Amino acid sequence: MAILSSAQQRNTTLTTLKPELVASLPQTFGDYLEELPPYHEQLTLDFSPSSAPPRKRWRNNGRSADFLADFLVTCLPEIETEKDRRWQAEIKDAVSYIANELLENAMKYSDQSQGTCTRIHLYFDGSCILFLTQNNVHLEEVETFQSHIHELLTADPQELYITRLEESVESENNGSGLGLLTMINDYEAKLSWKFEQAGENLSSTEIAVTTMVQLEI
């Protein structure tokens, strides 16, 4: 009896599931904006999976997030009072935090075997800051990912945060989902996602995921 390797077994499963998956795409979760309104300012950063070792890329996430925050501050009105200064500092901290969390999640869960870049966009129209991260995930990760999204969108965010925090203490890990929940609880951000086919190759084992965060200021 012929025994398939793990890679062959996975490919066989993917071939069976591919028609169902393709038929269901694209899928959106949350208040996802298919058409973006006009934004006055925008900035895009691309990250190649082969540009640096994983540990260095993790360190660079914070620097990249701070860069995005510094850029956003230049788009805000001039400081005239101490209240303006505090307001700008709060916005800068929020942008840096959200961008860092989005980059870490995107790079952590990306399928980097195909060499696909991770991308983050920052848009600003004067009253709303919009973040988009784009990365590819392996087909086998999609179901778990979408289950996690469903929980984020349907559960009470404060109660879920406490649950995740307790789980992270018990398991001594970094608390899966705490960053996204902090965006919702502390910054009142709106999160949404879009899953779609990655490119034109129907035999690809990758699914393109866009994460959208809307932050009113």
pTM of the model: 0.85
Q: Name the strands in the sheet holding 128-138, side by side, starting at the edge strand that comes first in the sequence.
A: 27-29, 190-197, 206-216, 128-138, 118-124, 41-47
**How far, in Å, CA of 64 to CA of 57, rounded?**
10
Per residue of the chain (217 residues), give pLDDT as tens.
233 333 333 333 333 345 566 667 899 999 999 999 888 899 999 988 765 665 666 678 999 999 999 999 999 999 999 999 999 999 999 999 999 999 999 988 887 666 788 999 999 999 999 999 999 998 888 999 999 999 999 999 999 999 998 888 877 665 568 999 999 999 999 999 999 988 766 556 789 999 999 999 9
Q: Nearest 10 degrees: CA dihedral of 161, 167, 170, 172?
A: -80
Pick one of 3.40.50, 3.30.565, 3.30.930, 1.10.1220 as the CATH number of 25-136+190-216: 3.30.565
Classified as helix, coil or strand, 205 is coil
